[in-house]
């Protein structure tokens, strides 16, 4: 997809399709108003007929404008004037790109950033346009030859007046970085487990590092993990024929003495549950258990692409979790890299096992903060549904920073408590802690488990089980929480 800025004024604009917003009760947005004057009132006449009201998410494609170099106009309903929130704005963008896709348009020019949005500037609106549009035209193709709904769009232009160009350029740069990062995350996540193995993820990380001067990649093999004493991580990969990998991506964009921000992503390329086997129905979705890792890859790509003046390290523990004669078993006791012993009461609680050793390993980078993201618990979907990611952590300021970033990015989070009382549930008769905490508060006890390995630094955990992919008919990765983390890092870079 080609994204660019269009600087021709409306009266000199040539376009296959101009996207223009109208408000509820058939009120014009600025561009629609100018266009109406230019076309002797055509837009107004169509609106008056009642074909579109301007309600949020309505669209109407006008296929012909007489004597006008603008071939088509796509009118998009924004909702009530003066009451367009960030969320409503994104909803309108989603509706617009859906109509563009269905109408098989090849090139569009958007003027939707002339719409007033609460608490949003021009850069934000431009950026969201690119994020939402790019998301709307995403198409998985790696293993699918024929697709009758093939996307035809190959060009998106953003209409800019001369005074607004700088803000729009900022929006374009950030929007492109985030959109392309989400695309990378989705492509990796949508790949099946037989293609996207730990080795495949490691290769992808290596390729990413080759593209960017400031990005370096290191892969630790099982022999290294053993030397480091990562008994919890290695226990998970015992049942798999695919070798586990610990991927490190190191981005150096800040001063050498600046402590790095460390991002950790669960990279379980397939989670069958191990000996505590999962039920068969819907098990295919456990190829998505590497979405945390795929997010880390996406975010590091975005950071490198934008050349942010920060030091960021991505750590991705990657493995499969399968039943096997050699697999770890309920009752087994593991020794983690931190020296704490762990009783495995359920081999399906494997994410925390690969994460805990990685979180211990993270200490060697003397991190400013550590943020991990993981499709960690089904319980998170039970408690929060598929709207926000679960947020837990040992540092209020860090959680608040993530909260703020999530609001701007429209990639929501909801904080859950990590109180001392819950730690009780992890007691084991035979080890320092058990790997499950019983049926109550599963998302919290999973985070409690991780918290026992993050005592030496400021840390936050994102449970993305409900947000990283969609289930059902429209099954597919969402690219979340790439927007949230990229926003957090943008905020840090500008602080
Ligand atoms: N990857 C799963 C979590 C998951 C389940 C994500 C369903 C999305 C949908 C994780 O490894 C897991 O199996 N967790 C168990 C923990 C339990 C055994 C304490 C779960 O949630 O059932
Ligand atoms: Mn599991
Ligand atoms: Zn899992």
DSSP 406-458: HHHHT--EEE----GGGGGGG--SSSSEES---STTHHHHHHHHHHTT-TTS-
Q: Helix 165-190 and helix 291-305: axis angle, to 10°?
A: 150
Q: Which atom of ligand 1 is found nearest the CA of 379? A: 21
Provide mean pLDDT across the span 132-136: 98
Least-confidence region, from 158-162, 282-286, 317-321: 158-162
Q: 465 pLDDT band (50/70/90 cuts)? A: very high
Q: How far apart (Å, rounded) are the C-alpha atoms in residues 182 and 477?
A: 9
Q: Report in angstroms the alpha-carbon separations of 383 from 271, 273, 380, 471.
A: 21, 21, 5, 17
Q: Which of 352, 452, 480, 492 is catalytic?
A: 352
Going from the Cα of 289 to the center of ligand 1, the distance in angstroms, rounded, reads 9
Q: Which CATH number fits domain 181-494: 3.40.50.720, 3.40.630.10, 3.40.190.10, 3.30.565.10?
A: 3.40.630.10
Task: Report the pLDDT value the prediction gives residue 287, as an integer from 0 to 100.
Answer: 98
Angle at 360 between CA 357 and CA 366, to 5 degrees: 150
Question: Of all protein residues, whose CA lies closest to atom 5 belonging to ligand 1?
Answer: 378
Task: Report the pLDDT value the prediction gives residue 385, as an integer from 0 to 100.
Answer: 98
Task: Report the pLDDT value the prediction gives residue 26, as an integer from 0 to 100.
Answer: 86
Q: 380 pLDDT band (50/70/90 cuts)? A: very high
pLDDT at 449 over 90: yes
Task: Report the pLDDT value the prediction gives residue 66, as an integer from 0 to 100.
Answer: 87
Task: Report the pLDDT value the prediction gives residue 187, as an integer from 0 to 100.
Answer: 98
pLDDT at 359 over 90: yes
The residues facing 140 across adjacent strands are: none
pLDDT at 198 over 90: yes
Provide mean pLDDT across the span 280-292: 98
Please choose, from the candidates 61, 354, 84, 364, the residue with its C-alpha nearest in 3D space to the C-alpha of residue 235.
354
Please choose, from the candidates 143, 137, 125, the residue with its C-alpha nearest in 3D space to the C-alpha of residue 85.
125
- Would residue 214 show up in a list of annotated catalytic residues for this protein? no
Going from the Cα of 344 to the center of ligand 1, the distance in angstroms, rounded, reads 14
The tokens describing 10, both together, are 């409306």
Do 74 and 60 touch, CB atoms closer than 8 A? yes
pLDDT at 163 over 80: no
Q: How far apart (Å, rounded) are the C-alpha atoms in residues 316 and 196?
A: 14
Provide mean pLDDT across the span 94-99: 98
pLDDT at 395 over 90: yes
Going from the Cα of 351 to the center of ligand 2, the distance in angstroms, rounded, reads 6
Please tell me what DSSP assigns to residue 277: P
Going from the Cα of 348 to the center of ligand 1, the distance in angstroms, rounded, reads 7
| Residue appearing with tokens 């006449």 | 45
Task: Report the pLDDT value the prediction gives residue 180, as an integer from 0 to 100.
Answer: 98
Do strands 73-77 and 18-23 pair parallel, antiparallel, or not at all (unpaired)? parallel
Specify the domain boundaries for CATH 3.40.220.10 within the chain: 2-137
* Mean pLDDT of all residues belonging to the chain: 97
Q: How far apart (Å, rounded) are the C-alpha atoms in residues 380 and 392?
A: 12
Task: Report the pLDDT value the prediction gives residue 146, as an integer from 0 to 100.
Answer: 79
Helix (DSSP H) and strand (DSSP E) numbers for the chain: 14, 21
* Cα maximum dimension of the chain: 82
Q: How far apart (Å, rounded) are the C-alpha atoms in residues 328 and 418?
A: 28
Q: Helix 351-361 and helix 442-451: axis angle, to 10°?
A: 30
The count of other CB atoms within 10 Å of the CB of residue 468 is: 30
Question: For the segment 205-238, what is each residue's pLDDT rounded down to a tens digit?
Answer: 999 999 999 999 999 999 999 999 999 999 999 9
- Would residue 352 show up in a list of annotated catalytic residues for this protein? yes
| Residue appearing with tokens 């990611």 | 389
Q: Which atom of ligand 1 is found nearest the CA of 437? A: 19
Task: Report the pLDDT value the prediction gives residue 149, as an integer from 0 to 100.
Answer: 83
Specify the domain boundaries for CATH 3.40.630.10 within the chain: 181-494
Q: Which atom of ligand 1 is found nearest the CA of 273? A: 13
The tokens describing 339, both together, are 């020296």
For ligand 1, say whether the CB of 292 is within 6 Å of any of its atoms: no
Provide mean pLDDT across the span 393-403: 98
CATH class of 2-137: alpha beta
Task: Report the pLDDT value the prediction gives residue 147, as an integer from 0 to 100.
Answer: 78
| Residue appearing with tokens 């108003």 | 33
Kindly tell me the burial class for residue 38, based on how many C-beta atoms sit within 10 Å of its own C-beta (0-12, 13-18, 19 or more): middle
* Strand, helix or coil for residue 370: strand
The tokens describing 440, both together, are 């109550």
Can you give the pTM of this predicted structure? 0.98
For ligand 1, say whether the CB of 320 is within 6 Å of any of its atoms: no
| Residue appearing with tokens 């001369």 | 162
Q: Is 476 left (phi over 0), alpha (psi -120 to 50) or beta?
A: left
Provide mean pLDDT across the span 383-405: 98
Ligand 1 probe mutation, 378, 433, 444, 464, most atoms within 8 A of CB: 378
Residue bearing the bigger pLDDT, 459 or 164:
459
Q: How far apart (Å, rounded) are the C-alpha atoms in residues 442 and 425?
A: 10
For ligand 1, say whether the CB of 351 is within 6 Å of any of its atoms: yes
The tokens describing 107, both together, are 């090139």
Q: What percent of the chain has pLDDT over 90?
A: 97
* Strand, helix or coil for residue 459: strand
């Amino acid at each position: 997809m080609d994204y660019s800025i269009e600087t021709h004024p409306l009266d000199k604009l040539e376009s296959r399709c101009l996207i223009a917003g109208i408000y509820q009760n058939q009120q014009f947005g600025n561009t629609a108003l100018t266009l109406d004057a230019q076309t002797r009132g055509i837009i107004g006449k169509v609106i008056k007929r009642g074909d579109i009201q301007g309600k949020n998410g309505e669209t109407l494609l006008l296929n012909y404008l007489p004597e006008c170099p603008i071939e088509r106009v796509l009118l998009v309903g924004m909702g009530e004037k003066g009451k367009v929130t960030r969320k409503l704005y994104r909803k309108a963008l989603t509706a617009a790109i859906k109509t563009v896709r269905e109408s098989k348009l090849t090139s569009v020019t958007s003027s939707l950033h002339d719409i007033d949005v609460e608490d949003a500037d021009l850069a934000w609106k431009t950026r969201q346009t690119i994020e939402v549009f790019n998301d709307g035209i995403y198409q998985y193709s790696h293993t699918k030859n024929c697709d009758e709904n093939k996307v035809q769009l190959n060009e998106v232009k953003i209409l800019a007046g001369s005074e607004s160009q700088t803000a729009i350029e900022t929006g374009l740069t950030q929007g492109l970085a985030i959109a392309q990062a989400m695309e990378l995350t989705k492509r990796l996540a949508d790949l099946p487990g037989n293609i996207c193995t730990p080795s495949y993820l490691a290769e992808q990380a290596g390729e990413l590092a080759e593209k960017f001067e400031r990005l370096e990649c290191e892969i630790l093999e099982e022999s290294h993990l053993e030397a480091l004493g990562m008994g919890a991580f290695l226990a998970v990969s015992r049942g798999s024929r695919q070798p586990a990998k610990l991927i490190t991506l190191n981005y150096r964009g800040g001063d050498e003495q600046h402590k790095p921000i460390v991002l950790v992503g669960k990279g379980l390329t397939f989670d069958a549950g191990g000996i505590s086997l999962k039920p068969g129905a819907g098990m295919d979705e456990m190829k998505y258990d590497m979405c945390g890792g795929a997010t880390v890859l996406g975010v590091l790509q975005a950071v490198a692409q934008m050349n942010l003046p920060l030091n960021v390290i991505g750590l991705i523990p990657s493995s499969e979790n399968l039943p096997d004669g050699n697999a770890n078993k309920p009752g087994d006791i593991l020794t983690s890299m931190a020296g704490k012993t762990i009783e495995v009461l359920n081999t399906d609680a494997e994410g925390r096992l690969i994460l805990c050793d990685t979180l211990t390993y993270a200490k060697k980078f003397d991190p400013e903060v550590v943020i991990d993201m993981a499709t960690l618990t089904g319980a998170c979907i039970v408690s929060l549904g598929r709207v926000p990611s679960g947020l837990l952590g040992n540092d209020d300021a860090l959680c608040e920073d993530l909260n703020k970033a999530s609001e701007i990015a429209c990639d929501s989070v909801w904080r859950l408590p990590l109180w001392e009382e819950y730690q009780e549930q992890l007691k084991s008769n035979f080890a320092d802690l058990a790997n499950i905490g019983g049926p109550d508060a599963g998302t919290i006890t999973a985070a409690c488990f991780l918290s026992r390995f993050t005592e030496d630094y400021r840390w936050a955990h994102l449970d993305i089980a409900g947000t990283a992919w969609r289930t059902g008919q429209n099954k597919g990765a969402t690219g979340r929480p790439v927007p949230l983390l990229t926003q957090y890092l943008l905020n840090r870079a500008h602080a």
